[in-house]
Every structure is written in C-alpha cells, then in structure tokens.
Amino acid sequence: MLVLPTELTHAQAQAALRMLLQGLRSQPHGSVVVDAAALARFDSSALAVLLECRRVALSLGRAFSVHQAPPQFQALAQLYGIAELLPAEG
C-alpha cells in the first residue's frame, strides 16, 4: 500500500508524485492502493497526483483505488467531477 503524506498541496506535489510512482513501480504485481487516511491539508494538486498514479497503474494493467480518503477530499473530487476515477478501496 502506498501512503499519502499529511500535507499535499502544490508545494509538495512533485515530491509526492515521485515517491508514489517509485513505490508503485517497486511493487510490480497486484492492485495499487493509496492510503489517504493521514491526508489533512491538501488542494487540487492532490487530485492531480492521484490521477497520475492511476494513469500509470492502469498503463501497467493494474487496478487502482484510494483507501480512507477524508470526506473533504472526496467532496473535492466530486466537485471536479472525477470521484469515479479515484474509487474507494474495496
């Protein structure tokens, strides 16, 4: 399972994306699950980071889901019309 940091705004987006993609590629089998439980401070950059992770996972033929996304994150994804692209684990 990949883990999001507590804060994921524009300032942290590049570093977080690099970390997540490295983790994704180091686990070559199975579905990709990103744990968002610790995410407390974020902006739309967090959505962009997860969408890129999803794109890479799908290009590798792997399923993608998000574990324990905070309600505010889910609401932001809903607002942007991409909630179905970042499905909850399960």
Average pLDDT over residues 24-39: 94
Q: What is the CATH number of the domain that holds 77?
A: 3.30.750.24
Q: Which tens digit of pLDDT belongs to each residue from 45-67? A: 999 999 999 999 999 999 999 99
Examine residue 90 and state whether it is found in any structural domain, yes or no.
no
Q: Give residue 15's domain range.
A: 2-85
Q: Is residue 58 part of a domain?
A: yes
Q: Please give the full DSSP string across 18-65, using - where no structure is assigned.
A: HHHHHHHHHS-SS-EEEE-TT--EE-HHHHHHHHHHHHHHHHTT--EE
pTM of the model as a whole = 0.95
Task: Please give the share of the chain, as a percent, with pLDDT higher than 70.
Answer: 99
90: pLDDT strictly greater than 70? no
Q: Residue 89: what pLDDT?
A: 83
Average pLDDT over residues 69-75: 97
Domain count, the chain: 1
Has residue 21 been placed in a domain? yes
Instruction: Give mean pLDDT, residues 24-36.
Output: 93
Q: In the block, which residue shows the tokens 């994704």?
A: 24
